[in-house]
Structure 1
């Protein structure tokens, strides 16, 4: 939550970022009125923000529809994060090896609020219909990577995350009971890996393990995607869990030396 009462807090910058965050898959283009509503600002304020962003090259107006949309320049900000993220550089060789060993898609996710964000991805040669590009967000409570990350936290912090999360039923298999999810996370902590069986997407299962920094705190998670059309969860756990754990440990050991 922003501290707007702090004299150092720049509300204009907050509004500008709110405009950029307002665009997405559900709102690829917007009118000025749309932008004002989504960003929670007045129309005159939206006009100033959009004009500035347009001048800077982050937003453009379609000449026919007169609707605004983002430009590729917005990706520069996200790319700069990835370029500066040492964890991604360290992890990529391990992720590539895990991708080769398993023949399945391998992902690296980092925590942000109540979500995990995709920061690296090695796609399986076999077609997977679910497209999750870099920057995609998934909730912690119902995903393998999220539960793996949570398993490295203390019990009180796990409960806080679950309390703050909207425990929505994304598929008929999604766990939405906070107590049951907490118990699943504790099980993940004890066995060293977490699972997700079609709780986020039907036909999509994951085996995940946490990555720890030199202070023993979780900073990310690696997970392998296994489609239910080719795997059972029992088979995936039996054949892949130890390999995923070894990958996560290798990354953890490498970042501790940096």
Structure 2
């Protein structure tokens, strides 16, 4: 039997129908809660015929429904099955939850676990403070690595050249007047995080939002996630946060890392 070259084998095995189907599901978001078929095709980057087949299939499977009055399509609760399956199967989340809960209790602030995906950090666990927070970030929310404390914490545990390459690939837009967008400035913040053991973000992503984050390391010493605590500027100064929150944050990150090394 003739052996198929590795690159060609990947090409033959790649299923474009699955790719198009996932593109349809991912087309829905906070800005596109409901869409007509043509809008779905445009958002998913596929032609209308392909969109029609995918939408019909997902409608029959119960992942998409059409509103009887507006005739616009929207996701159903069944679409959450895919994301929830990841959360349920993620042993790191189970291991981290007790330590996040303790950090939230000690700090009286919202504490989170995020994992990397491409150039973003994704919220996978969250303990919300009884006090107000500037921004609601539900599980599954994504934030860009380059301007988030959790992203910089994760980058700080990578080799310098690897971290720089990711920052260079990022779409470094200014979300606020405080956002660092120059590669060298961001890498300076990453190096400071490496020296201190934790990273910071002071209103670079959202006004009123200040966070401290530390990396979670796996068995091979590579970062697998980040823990961060929210310190709203209405209640904290950066100096106060460093003095009172950083020690507990670092202790939490070390505890989660110990669990991660057993899982990894």
Q: TM-score range by the shorter chain?
A: over 0.9
Shift of 1:253: 0.9
Note if 1:26 corresponds to 2:31. Answer: yes
8 A Cα contact 1:4 1:11, kept in partner:
no
Correspondent of 2:18 among 13, 17, 20: 13
Question: 1:130 corresponds to which residue?
Answer: 135
TM score, norm. by length of structure 2: 0.95
Shift of 1:4: 11
Alignment of 1:50-89 (within 5 A): 50-89=55-94
Shift of 1:257: 2.5
Deviations 1:155-203 (A, max 9, x none): 1111111111011000111001110100110110011000000001101
In structure 1, runs of 5+ residues without a counterpart are none
In structure 2, runs of 5+ residues without a counterpart are 1-7
Aligned length: 256
Secondary structure at the counterpart of residue 147 of structure 2: coil
RMSD: 1.2
Deviations 1:69-107 (A, max 9, x none): 000001011000000000000000000000000000000
Q: Give structure 1 regions of 4+ aligned residues with deviation exceeding 6 angstroms.
A: none
Correspondent of 1:209 among 211, 214, 217: 214
Note if 1:245 corresponds to 2:246. Answer: no
Change (3 A) 1:156 1:96: same
Please identify, of 121-130 and 213-222, the stretch whose mean Cα deviation from structure 2 is larger. 121-130
TM score, norm. by length of structure 1: 0.97
Distance in structure 1 (CA, Å) of the matches to 2:78 and 2:153: 33
Note if 1:155 corresponds to 2:160. Answer: yes
